[in-house]
Amino acid sequence: MRETVKHTITDERTNRSYRHIKHSSGLDIFLAPLDGFYTTCAMFGAKYGSIHNCFKTSDDDRMITVPDGIAHYLEHKLFENGDSNVFELFAETGAYDNAFTGFENTVYYFNCSENYDKSLRILLNFVQKPYFTPENVEKERGIIAQEIKMSLDIPSRRCFYELLRAMYHYHPVNIDIAGSEESIAKITPELLYKCYDTFYDLNNMALSVAGNLDEDEVLAICDECLRPCEDKKLEVSFPDEPYEVAKKKVVTEFGVGVPIFSIGFKCRPVSDELALKNEVSTDMMLSLLAGRMSPLYKELSERKLVNGDIGKQVFDIKGVSSCIFSGESRDPEAVAECVIKHIEAAKKNGFDREQFELIRKSEYGSSVNQLATSEGYADALLMCHFNDIGLFDEERLIADMTYEDMLTALNRIDTDNYSLSIIV
Amino acid sequence: MSLKVSSTSPAKGIHITDISDEKFISDSIVIRFTTPIDEKLTPIYSLLLSLLAESCRKYPDRALLGNRLAELYGTSLYPISYKSGDCFVTGLAVSGLCDRLTINSEVISVKCAELLLDCIFDPDVCDGVFCGRYLEQGKRELIDKIENEIANRQAYAGSQSLKTAFRGEPAAVSLNGTKENALKIDAQAIEQAYKKLLDEAFISVSFTGSGKNIQAKEMVKERLTKLALSSPNRLHYDNLLAPSPCKSEPEYVTEEMEQSQSNLIMFFKTDSSDFSALKLVNSLFGGVPFSRLFLNVREKLSLCYYCSSMYDEAKRTMIVSCGVEPGSEQRAADEIINQLDELKNGSFTDEELENTKRYVKGAAFSKYDSPAGLNSWYYSENSCGRNCSPEKMIELFYEVDRERMSKAAQSLKLDTVYVQRPCGGENNA
């Protein structure tokens, strides 16, 4: 058994710090006690999301493919253990508990203002105690089918997923996180156990706790509840994805008053080492390109092409990188042309240097603000770990970002390689 | 606890709340104007506030204002518009980083307050009327918003159902108004609405944050108090309670739309003023993660993904929302009524009641860690004519016994059942 190793990570400028503990069980634990806070938020997550549908471990001799939506189904089913419903266990502590599944991660969490020790025990125990039977798996199918249907009635979400389907030929990012009614029909207790045993390995998981907490108490609970895991040498496989988008344009009939659009520029994925820098620099570059101060926004606004602001998003996950613009417009094609025109103009003429300095200041403010609450802190600690970065690295990166980095980020956009999704 | 809360009413028509805790890392100022809901005027007020949030004389376009906000470390300046009882609450808010966390401790709090006051009191006017630059765009966006209300089916079901539940009351009115009315809005109408709002509306000012922005707070207090004193006819509300009378027989409405799921919304009204018992009934019934609706309609019967309730104290109405498989609306509605009947009959355990109290206690205490949470907590308390701290409210919840719970549940009568279902389905609600 490994030894538990502890480190303190400090941001000298603001004097904030947190603890990173590599627990003997294999789990990475992050603790941020916050002075004067009543609440405690704990997040227990696995690096397992909807895109991990083809994998193998040292127990398998070949790659295994599982039905779409199984990570999300598994998240639902962990809330039921043999003798009780997890929501009822948390009811005894007064905590709010929930979970979410993304493309790359699944996270279970609670937030409370008393009894955090009891809630932490419940969290660690239920996530480590799967209980799947044909009956309880069947029972969940109807609930998840309703969740899928509810999502189909949200046009902005439909627009986003249709865009991903248009941009990506094979990468599983083009599939809804919850799967479809057809795919979830194939999910069985055996498949759920297979996925659980593969991904819910403490070496592939992390725990973050922020707010009102005592480090020794949290670690004592971890010692008591965490079951050591052997590293199973998990391998995940993704299909080769062509550089070009799958479809240039997709129009979905829905019945909205004003069309909703998403324009996605598919970029080449970056290496893991450059992932954070790319994400931060692209995010700042998109603010320069399409923020309220930009010539693009001015033109869209003057030509009455969009309602309100234009949404902008860096969509970077393993093997996938793209820049997405979205909004409401009566003429989405004209918006796409305008966006392309301004990208090309910026490539030729650069950005306003003063604007760059302002954006940097603004981004710094946002990054400090995300640590305002215990939930924000716990979430940032966990997500930074899943992205292989430290909590304060982003602020440092913003401070060190140069004007040239903006141009590098801009030049990753190929204006011939985009898809347009429209909901009408 | 380093939390400090103080409230004052320096003149008729103005209420100021100051909430500070040194642990907070942002400072926010919210200025709210409250007026009665009016079918024609309310949408104009709503448009007016969105215009005020976009420019002022000093920063006369969105880009310049955007630059200024970026310079203030990404400070946000935004309009607010919502209903509370039969009133319309609109206003502007600014929220920025505390001075101690800016680079080299640059003082931005005063600049944020100045910007907020500039946007309210020194708008971008040409020859005395609002400049047309953003008015036309704002109008077009309002019309698009009206036409696009159907886009989010769940939200649309919510607003449609209110029309039946609160028929004949101001709360039934849509905040966006009609397309016909929106087309009639011009610079003069905006100008008149601006003057009327500043002359007549009840003013609420909330400061929430580290408490170190003393100069900024003084500046805002002084300006808004001066405004309140300038008009003798200003509205003054001690509360915004406007209970909705229950119909003698429940009304059932079904609408069809192109959609995948059915949305079921049920309204239960009460004439009881026992707010702490009613809030607890709502929590146990459909407001907590282990509620009766969650455990029975979703977990036991697998009828839906979500089924929850909320209690609107101002209207004394409990609203249940449920997304359900088309064809199962009646089963879901029956089970919802069945669960409420159980609470009416006292068929709940002491453990359920204790767990609910413990949960609402945790939720109330969590407000102490959130500036936004505290801001809305105290505003909502004032709207109900109280000024209870979260701690005091917890005491009131713990005083509620089984008998008061059942009595509060019994006071809830079914008023409206609204179903929005996919086109062509069988009518079984």
Length of chain B: 429
Confidence of residue A340 (pLDDT cuts 50, 70, 90): very high
Q: What is the pLDDT of residues A382-417, one digit of tens each?
A: 999 998 888 888 888 888 899 999 999 999 999 999
Single residue among B230, B263, B283 that ends a domain in this structure? B230
Length of chain A: 424
Say whether pLDDT at B429 is over 80: no
Query: Alpha helices of A61-115 — where are they, by DSSP H?
Result: 70-78, 86-91
Say whether pLDDT at B9 is over 90: yes
Q: How far apart are the first and last CA of chain B?
A: 52
For residue B288, the chain A residues in CB contact (below 8 A) are: 91
- Chain A contacts in chain B segment 321-350 (CB below 8 A): 323-325
Confidence of residue A251 (pLDDT cuts 50, 70, 90): very high
Q: What is the pLDDT of residues B354-372, one digit of tens each?
A: 999 999 999 999 999 999 9
Report DSSP letters for B90-159, one per residue: EEEEEEEE-GGGSGGG---HHHHHHHHHHHHHS--EETTEE-HHHHHHHHHHHHHHHHTTTSSHHHHHHH
d(CA A107, CA A252): 32
Confidence of residue B128 (pLDDT cuts 50, 70, 90): low
Q: What is the pLDDT of residues A184-210, one digit of tens each?
A: 999 999 999 999 999 999 999 999 999
pLDDT for the residue numbered B132: 65
Residue B285 falls inside a structural domain: yes
pLDDT for the residue numbered B115: 98
* A36 dihedral zone (left: phi>0; alpha: psi -120 to 50; beta): left
**Residue B421 corresponds to which amino acid?**
R
Average pLDDT of the segment spanning B140-151? 87
d(CA A38, CA A15): 21
Confidence of residue A327 (pLDDT cuts 50, 70, 90): very high
B372: contact with A, CB 8 A cutoff:
no
- Chain A contacts in chain B segment 271-290 (CB below 8 A): 288-290
- What residue ranges in B181-316 does DSSP mark as E strands? 202-209, 251-257, 262-269, 304-312
B252: contact with A, CB 8 A cutoff:
no
Say whether pLDDT at B53 is over 90: yes
User: Do residues B48 and B117 both lie within one domain?
Assistant: yes
> Best interface-test mutation with B: which of A149, A157, A353 has the largest number of B CBs within 10 A?
A149
**DSSP 8-state code for residue A335:** H
Say whether pLDDT at B63 is over 50: yes
Confidence of residue A50 (pLDDT cuts 50, 70, 90): very high
Confidence of residue B315 (pLDDT cuts 50, 70, 90): very high
Contact B378, B17 (CB under 8 A): yes
User: Do residues B181 and B277 both lie within one domain?
Assistant: no
User: Do residues B118 and B191 both lie within one domain?
Assistant: yes
User: Do residues B256 and B403 both lie within one domain?
Assistant: yes
Under DSSP, is residue A414 helix (H, G, I), strand (E, B) or coil? coil
Residue B345 β-bridge partners = none
For residue A361, the chain B residues in CB contact (below 8 A) are: 70-71, 73-74, 103
B298: contact with A, CB 8 A cutoff:
yes
Residue B219 falls inside a structural domain: yes
Q: What is the pLDDT of residues A283-297, one digit of tens each?
A: 999 999 999 889 999
**Residue A259 corresponds to which amino acid?**
P
d(CA A164, CA A174): 5
Q: What is the pLDDT of residues B226-246, one digit of tens each?
A: 999 999 889 999 999 999 999
Work out how many domains chain B is built from and give that number. Answer: 2
For residue A362, the chain B residues in CB contact (below 8 A) are: 69-70, 73-74
* A167 dihedral zone (left: phi>0; alpha: psi -120 to 50; beta): alpha
Confidence of residue A1 (pLDDT cuts 50, 70, 90): low
* B424 dihedral zone (left: phi>0; alpha: psi -120 to 50; beta): left
Question: Lowest mean pLDDT: which of A238-242, B32-36, B137-141?
Answer: B137-141
Residue B239 falls inside a structural domain: no
Residue B340 falls inside a structural domain: yes
Average pLDDT of the segment spanning B89-111? 93
Percentage of residues in chain B having pLDDT higher than 70: 97
Residue B242 falls inside a structural domain: no
Residue B237 falls inside a structural domain: no
User: Do residues B122 and B165 both lie within one domain?
Assistant: yes
d(CA B83, CA B244): 14
Q: Active-site residues of A: which are they?
A: 75
Query: What values do phi and psi take at B115, rounded to 5?
Result: -65, -45
Instruction: Say what the ipTM of the complex is.
Output: 0.87
Contact A57, A203 (CB under 8 A): no
User: Do residues B214 and B264 both lie within one domain?
Assistant: no
Percentage of residues in chain A having pLDDT higher than 70: 100
User: Do residues B338 and B371 both lie within one domain?
Assistant: yes
> What CATH number does the domain containing B185 carry?
3.30.830.10
Say whether pLDDT at B381 is over 60: yes
User: Do residues B262 and B319 both lie within one domain?
Assistant: yes
pLDDT for the residue numbered B26: 94
**DSSP 8-state code for residue A27:** -
pLDDT for the residue numbered A178: 96
Core vs surface per residue B299-338: b (16+ CB within 10 A) or e: bebbbbbbbbbebbbbbbbbbbbbbbbbebbebbbebbee
Say whether pLDDT at B305 is over 50: yes
SS3 content of chain A, % helix, strand, coil (to 5): 45, 20, 35
d(CA A293, CA B68): 10
For residue B65, the chain A residues in CB contact (below 8 A) are: 292
d(CA B265, CA A334): 39
Average pLDDT of the segment spanning B61-74? 92
Average pLDDT of the segment spanning A40-54? 97
pLDDT for the residue numbered B1: 64
What's the token pair of residue A219? 């670690």
Residue B153 falls inside a structural domain: yes
User: Do residues B222 and B318 both lie within one domain?
Assistant: no
What domains does chain A contain, in order, with CATH numbers? 5-236 (3.30.830.10), 249-423 (3.30.830.10)
Determine the structural domain holding residue B388 and report its residue range: 251-422
The alpha carbon dihedral of B212, B213, B217, B219 has a sign of positive
pLDDT for the residue numbered B19: 97
User: Do residues B221 and B258 both lie within one domain?
Assistant: no
In this structure, the dihedral spanned by the alpha carbons of residues A280, A282, A283 and A288, taken in order and rounded to 10 degrees, is 130
Residue with tokens 């253990």: A81
User: Do residues B257 and B162 both lie within one domain?
Assistant: no
Contact B166, B176 (CB under 8 A): no
Residue B385 falls inside a structural domain: yes
- Per the prediction, chain B carries an average pLDDT of 93
User: Do residues B218 and B311 both lie within one domain?
Assistant: no
What's the token pair of residue B252? 């059932």
What's the token pair of residue A66? 């599982």
pLDDT for the residue numbered A276: 84
Residue B150: count other Cβ atoms within 10 Å of its Cβ. Answer: 20
- Which chain B residue lies closest to A297 (C-alpha atoms)? B63
pLDDT for the residue numbered B426: 54
d(CA A262, CA A356): 25
Residue with tokens 């009613």: B278
Cβ contact B141–A146 (<8 Å): no
B256: contact with A, CB 8 A cutoff:
no
